[in-house]
Structure 1
Amino acid sequence: MTASIIGTGESPYTRYPAADASTETTIADAVTRALENAGLTPDDVDGFAVSSFTLEPDHAIDLAWKLGFRLSWLMQDTNGGASAGSMLQHAVHAIEAGDASVIVIAAGDLMDKNAFKRLVASYNRATEEHLSTLPMSGPNALFAMLTTRQMSKLGLTRKDYGRIAVAQRRWATANPDAVYRSPLTLEDYLQAPLVAEPLGRFDCVPPVTGADAVVVVADELAKGKRRAKVLAVTASYNADNQSGDGLQTGLADCASIAWERAGIAPDDVDVLAVYDDYPSMVVAQLIDMGFIPYGTDVSEYIRTRIYSGDLALNTSGGQLSAGQAGSAGGMHGLVEVVRQLRQDAGSRQVSAKLGVVSGYGMVLYRFGACANMTILEAGE
């Protein structure tokens, strides 16, 4: 591929947005930070993509106008946790086609209590007509059932999932932008109140307000700049037609294509961001992408690779500790991996040449229907 990411920006995540905050101003803040990080101005931008659940009644064109962009390429994505990979895939193709050369990709939401309740109640028609009528709140019950199935199939316990949450919180203590940075022990995890058995408080992503953005440019414009070169972006939609057990995601379909296009394998990867709405989905995606080979003792892998810190997984703390800013959830991982590859991660910096980002989301009747995988390489 012939595109690279040369700038990142994140509007600080918060559980309680300021009274004058809005989705528009939150996304604009992330975009401004990303352009400054890239050493560019709005006048340099000729492409823009945005994803948001709460931007309405405005659209991508309204936000582009307010940001001062004059564009030759524009898109709006609605696919939540998979939106970052989806927008990046389209942006790279637009650059390769000559439709644009400097594209800003952004996602974010103002997600206070009322906005979250509205989103959960009217996520899509299936939610409105079938799920919202049931005596449960949001997707926690759905993923509690999925987690129970995974525990049975893989021989996992709550301690195994707790080790994922604790490991990510350890990374978060070095991330000044994470909403939750206080140390978390396995005992804390196990003693926390249950939300939907077997899910406890620390298994469920906290909704926050925030936004993320990256600047994608044609490779010739990235020369001399610290960059994350895009080696591959692959995607899968409706992989199981909502008829599977949820334990396998669309990544099982598209990961092998990404590895082949990039010419690398899981063992070559230095830093990894996996969409972590629940620890069970971290496990599912690691298996589907080949990081946990089929037949592996998954509990042992969690102890020796994730809990130990040997695997640089969700080094920002992931959404479980940094927070889930609505549609920005998938962008959060992309921003973190790019920062690691550009040596911008501060005290949580790892030695990283190759990075992977997964996207997952858009629950229809039961499970996420969208998945994608991005492979990036550090360069100058």
Structure 2
Amino acid sequence: MKKAFITGVANTRCGKLPEESALSLHATVAREAAADAGIDLKDVDGLLCAYSFTEPHPMLAHVVAEYLGIQPAFAACVSAGGATGALHVMTAKALVESGMCRNVLCLTGDNRLTGMAPGAAVAALADFGHSEFEVPYGITIPAAYGLVAQRYMHDTGLTLEHMAHIAVTTRNHARRHPDAQMRKPLSVEDVMASRPIAEPLRLFDCALISDGAAGIMVSAGSTGGKPAIRILGAGQKGTHEHLMAAPRDLQSFGCKHSAADAFREAGMTVKNIDVAEIYDSFTITLAIELESIGFFEKGTVGPAAAEGALDLGGALPCNTHGGLLSFGHSGAAGGAFHVVEGVRQLRGEAGERQVKDAATCYVHGDGGTLSAHVSLILERAA
């Protein structure tokens, strides 16, 4: 069986990109990811796309292929909300290892900040609630996560100040990344004083709305470009879609199981990981996943974050590009940015945000309200 490697990655800047469309963003990262892999776009025989609020075509992968002028043997839209970026890599891994494809290009992107009316992107997310039992009562994604946060804080002792430290840590990482949307200094006091969005979550506890795109090339072996990164393990698990059907304790989410499967395939444990890139739609999302996956014991991630555990010199450098909280969140590309950053860390290309001697990376994507989970274990090739 062939082994799958990530051979090329690319991302655009995040933030306001009024000169771009969803398709132009896709095209930019497609060309740059192929160049990074050292191959021509005509050598792409697999294409995975996701979804776009501003280009809502039901066959987006075929639209993008047409736009790029390529005719891959396999083209499909594969989507799982915020877990899409990691799921693309997991799916591409299967396509390559089965022999169906040799070079699979994974593209995600949207211009939902400048390509939609103000507030339209947030309004669209309200439709993710259950049409019969949630939407009529005013549910939104922030409100759902606010409910989860209240329960988790009650049960574990996590505090607002702990979550503020998570937001500040990710902002400090983003300040080192030239493409990040938010690079202004942020303090714990700033986070604590920011306006409430969905109690207990405040403005800086929430992910950004951005224009931006990411491209990832998954290949059967090295392609002659940059050093290839091995995909050692992958796992997926979902326990629910709507919050009304989530595990009753609001703590037993699928990330625990998807991570266990990925670590099992890789023959590793959390102790073998040098850097982590974990989905952070809200500060509470990251706190729950870090504990559920096993990087921290239940009830300890808050104090650990306050003490610098997630910083570059900490026990587990995490979301070193700034994550969704500060780098940017442009739909499906939000989670793909985590993959891109993981690859750059393992290649030693992260500049002043580089984790010293990083050889292994854990990447995690989360879609819905802690609904769909995909875990990846990546390793620097010798």
Q: 1:90 maps to what in 2?
A: 91
Q: 2:359 maps to what in 1?
A: 353
Moved more, 335-344 or 251-260: 251-260
Q: Is contact 1:146–1:245 with CA below 8 Å preserved after alignment?
A: no
CA distance in 2, matches of 1:84, 1:135: 29
TM-fit CA distance, 1:25: 1.0
TM-fit CA distance, 1:51: 1.0
CA distance in 2, matches of 1:204, 1:263: 34
Is it true that 1:300 corresponds to 2:303 in the alignment?
A: yes
CA distance in 1, matches of 2:83, 2:76: 15
Q: 2:50 maps to what in 1?
A: 51
Cα RMSD of the aligned pairs, angstroms, is 2.0
CA offsets 1:236-290 (integer angstroms, 9 cap, x no match): 0236953434323211122222112111111211110110001111111111211
TM-fit CA distance, 1:8: 0.7
TM-fit CA distance, 1:131: 3.8
Question: Any stretches of 5+ residues in structure 1 without a counterpart?
Answer: none
SS in 1 for 2:180: coil
TM value normalised by structure 1: 0.91
Q: 2:273 maps to what in 1?
A: 269
CA distance in 2, matches of 1:280, 1:248: 14
Specify the code of the residue in structure 2 equivalent to 1:99: M
CA offsets 1:89-114 (integer angstroms, 9 cap, x no match): 11111111111101111111121353
CA distance in 1, matches of 2:225, 2:127: 47
Moved more, 70-79 or 5-14: 70-79
Is it true that 1:145 corresponds to 2:151 in the alignment?
A: no
Q: Is contact 2:51–2:60 with CA below 8 Å preserved after alignment?
A: no
Alignment CA distance shift 1:368-1:23 (3 Å): same
CA distance in 2, matches of 1:21, 1:298: 39
SS in 2 for 1:280: helix
SS in 1 for 2:287: helix
CA distance in 2, matches of 1:196, 1:225: 43
Give the alignment of 1:13-162 within 5 angstroms: 13-14=14-15, 16-18=16-18, 20-54=19-53, 55-57=55-57, 58-112=59-113, 113-114=116-117, 115-117=120-122, 119-123=124-128, 126=130, 128-135=131-138, 138-162=140-164
Alignment CA distance shift 1:252-1:56 (3 Å): same
Q: Is contact 1:207–1:324 with CA below 8 Å preserved after alignment?
A: yes
Identity %: 28
CA distance in 2, matches of 1:192, 1:99: 50
TM value normalised by structure 2: 0.91
Q: Is contact 1:170–1:317 with CA below 8 Å preserved after alignment?
A: yes
TM-fit CA distance, 1:349: 1.2
SS in 2 for 1:81: coil
Q: Is contact 1:258–1:374 with CA below 8 Å preserved after alignment?
A: yes
Specify the code of the residue in structure 2 equivalent to 1:354: T
Specify the code of the residue in structure 1 equivalent to 2:195: P
Q: Is contact 2:37–2:223 with CA below 8 Å preserved after alignment?
A: no
What is the aligned length? Answer: 369
SS in 2 for 1:71: coil
Moved more, 52-61 or 251-260: 52-61
TM-fit CA distance, 1:323: 1.6
CA distance in 1, matches of 2:225, 2:70: 25
CA distance in 2, matches of 1:130, 1:281: 23
